[in-house]
Structure 1
Amino acid sequence: MASAAAEKGKGPADAEDTAAASAARLAREWTTWAMKNAKVVAHYGFIPFVILVGMNSEPKPRLAQLLSPV
Structure 2
Amino acid sequence: MASRVVVKGKGKGGKERRLAEERPSSTAKCVKEWSTWTLKKAKVAVHYGFIPLIIIIGMNSDPKPQLYQLLSPV
Give the TM-score taking structure 1 as reference length. 0.70
Runs (5+) with no aligned partner, structure 2: 1-22
Alignment: residue pair count: 52
Q: Between the two proteins, what is the percent identity of the paired residues?
A: 60
Aligned CA-pair RMSD: 1.5
Larger Rg belongs to: 2
Give the TM-score taking structure 2 as reference length. 0.67
Runs (5+) with no aligned partner, structure 1: 1-17
Give the Å deviation of 1:31.
Answer: 0.4
String of CA shifts for 1:20-62, please: whole Å, max 9, x gaps: 8111000000000000000100110011000000000000000
Q: Which aligned runs of 4 or more in structure 1 are off by greater than 4 angstroms?
A: none
Instruction: Report which of the two has the higher share of helix.
Output: 1
Q: Does 1:52 align with 2:17?
A: no
